[in-house]
Structure 1
């Protein structure tokens, strides 16, 4: 085993092969280690997230190094058959790469039984191992910007099915009508780690098949992420106060502290980009700190009070205006509770510093959780839909004894476009994949946030790209919040709240947890500097 640093609350265990990875995963699941919050297995690695208040990286390294990896993992008794129409765009290319006919590719793909090794990339996306020995297919040199839901692909020695339309670099050999992800099922992800999978050529079938959902092979592909309104407006008491959306700004979504513990289904935590601001907004109106609030980027959000309400706005430094039904208006401060009468409207202007504001309402929003959280994951399309003009947001009554908080102070170091934003960085886990000059350049060079940035990540542009010392393909591995992943362009992407669980490009470092809220407030156009807080060193399993 190798133990690689990720950040101050995560480490990466690298193993020799997939069998060892699954053996260690089974051991850690059978006998969990104290303080471990989540495990994200991948092809040859396990990302271990832990609570620093309960354990340390050194203690975990010692305990994990002592685990026995000789036991083989028992295969599941559950077999899922997936019908496939083998007409994919890359079928001929895959056949050419393997030196065989397209018909032989289909025969080999349907002639092997796969096992779900791990999940990631997107909810319901399973990495399937155990295919024909000849299947070792490189990813496409240029990923497609859109691959349809149900596309069946090959990458390296793995096979997989895209659960939703998304960008991707796998070689597509066919498509299935079976939904890999369906929130209407008790277990949304069709494929779970350990399940056995067999692909069936749809051309050989007649009528209906049981493919884990009992659907007709002639049925259209089901949308894995229905756009159903999950806000539960009717859950508020009749006649209770509400907020009517008069303007949404660039994007306004519900967020809480995140959807944790769903890595087994390929679902990342998501949650508020500035968690301290969300907690403060809730405290100011007397809510629990983990209640859902509205997160809005830039200016433009307008909320009209239906009945009497109490709101608080935190986060970015943005002008706030209250306008009455008869046209009177005045400015109100952020970071304190604001009482609105029936018909009053609260508007948020363009931020002077920071990027995102948080709006909490006394009593909390009547919004239905999805997989235990009200957070909207914009990459995975899990959670309530973004706000639209005309929406009416029901509010719950405040619990007895809930106390409105005293005014608070905003963050003192909100990022602006006019000054460099400095973020502390922990080097690892793949710092040694880059040249020494590039590691030095990460800290020495300024990086600008491009307009392509969003809740998934900040896309950065520097004068000189980062160059790799190791040019081979990296097997997919778990990625942490704040990771600086470097694609072939050499321009880093800083992963934020809605980042994928796993990625196939090396991570040179990760923003330290104490600067993640600051990262979530960085506006487009700002310039960043990274401050490594230590040298890159492997973690050694020292004897206590």
Structure 2
């Protein structure tokens, strides 16, 4: 894994850990940025980790660019074995109404921007991933956990990386041209990343369903949003749960009443243990989620 460093103007260093997203690249960036944050370096004003990269903003009147670059290279060497990094995080169960009427109506309005105008997003995703039908694809999408590698683009939107061997990861290209509309709380997918659209707006990811669970709320009405208006954090683990329309409607009513909550469990995630046996490790995570 060769790391590439690039200066951005007079105040930024952009660090690309890998051209491909992987949990190893994410953990490498996490280890470096956590150590940089721990050192409280004078002149470093912002540290922004991403999927397989990170960016540092600095004050050139306080720290020389080459000095900061040398420090980042030094930290890179010191955290070379990021596979042994453990993080304290959360696993969250997110209910999803797959193949819902709202994303279906939206995707039908934008078929001319899609690779396959004759099919729906779910039908297309199932076909190009070698699944026998939509139900088979939904099972592949919801059976294994997803790792939140970044939150951004719009407030509260999580980018999620499927926690399975690379050969089993679902891959779906984005629309040929972005839509001008996407329903709020759409569960989408583009490339190797899943996401949840925290607000209504433009977007180019394939649309698979909707969740009733708000993940961004400035009013912070629900219990899991009381600490912060943005729910997800990098390092969170998501387990999607398929639900039917009746369950979805009841959840929406609970959201309106302010009584809806998510199933959330604290967990320690070990990249090394996951890499040694992903399926067994995922089962252990799901057992933690389902424990009373």
Q: TM-score range by the shorter chain?
A: 0.5 to 0.7
Change in Cα spacing, 1:91 to 1:220, as seen in structure 2 (3 Å) is: farther
Task: For 1:92 and 1:197, locate their aligned partners in 2 and report how far apart those are by CA, in whole Å.
Answer: 23
The 5 A counterparts of 1:20-419 are 20-67=28-75, 68-72=79-83, 73-87=85-99, 88-89=103-104, 90-100=121-131, 101-132=133-164, 133-185=168-220, 186-203=227-244, 216-219=250-253
Contact 1:91 1:172 in 2 (8 A): yes
Contact 1:151 1:172 in 2 (8 A): yes
Structure 1's consecutive aligned runs of 4 or more residues displaced over 4 angstroms after TM superposition are 205-208
Look up the match of 1:7: 9
Task: For 1:14 and 1:166, locate their aligned partners in 2 and report how far apart those are by CA, in whole Å.
Answer: 29
Contact 1:25 1:41 in 2 (8 A): yes
The CA RMSD over aligned residues, in Å, is 2.4
Residues 215-256 of structure 1, C-alpha deviations (whole Å, 9 max, x = no match): 94243987xxxxxxxxxxxxxxxxxxxxxxxxxxxxxxxxxx
Residues 140-184 of structure 1, C-alpha deviations (whole Å, 9 max, x = no match): 211111111100111222111001111111111111111110112
Contact 2:27 2:82 in 1 (8 A): no
Question: Whose strand proportion is higher, 1 or 2?
Answer: 1
Contact 1:127 1:160 in 2 (8 A): yes
Task: For 1:216 and 1:40, locate their aligned partners in 2 and report how far apart those are by CA, in whole Å.
Answer: 38
Change in Cα spacing, 1:155 to 1:69, as seen in structure 2 (3 Å) is: farther
Residues 398-439 of structure 1, C-alpha deviations (whole Å, 9 max, x = no match): xxxxxxxxxxxxxxxxxxxxxxxxxxxxxxxxxxxxxxxxxx
Post-superposition shift, 1:76? 3.3
Q: For structure 2, list consecutive stretches of 5 or more residues without a partner in the other structure.
A: 19-24, 105-120, 221-226, 257-292
Question: Whose helix proportion is higher, 1 or 2?
Answer: 2
Secondary structure in 2 matching 1:167: coil
The 5 A counterparts of 1:450-489 are none
Q: Would you say how many aligned residue pairs link Structure 1 and Structure 2? A: 215
Contact 1:23 1:70 in 2 (8 A): no
The TM-score, its normalising length taken from structure 2, stands at 0.67
Task: For 2:172 and 2:29, locate their aligned partners in 1 and report how far apart those are by CA, in whole Å.
Answer: 21
Task: For 1:165 and 1:113, locate their aligned partners in 2 and report how far apart those are by CA, in whole Å.
Answer: 25
Task: For 1:199 and 1:134, locate their aligned partners in 2 and report how far apart those are by CA, in whole Å.
Answer: 15
Look up the match of 1:18: 26
Task: For 1:181 and 1:6, locate their aligned partners in 2 and report how far apart those are by CA, in whole Å.
Answer: 31
Task: For 2:212 and 2:34, locate their aligned partners in 1 and report how far apart those are by CA, in whole Å.
Answer: 32
**RCO comparison, higher one (Cα < 8 Å, 6+):** 2
Change in Cα spacing, 1:24 to 1:60, as seen in structure 2 (3 Å) is: same
Task: For 1:170 and 1:189, locate their aligned partners in 2 and report how far apart those are by CA, in whole Å.
Answer: 21
Task: For 1:77 and 1:61, locate their aligned partners in 2 and report how far apart those are by CA, in whole Å.
Answer: 30
Secondary structure in 1 matching 2:7: strand
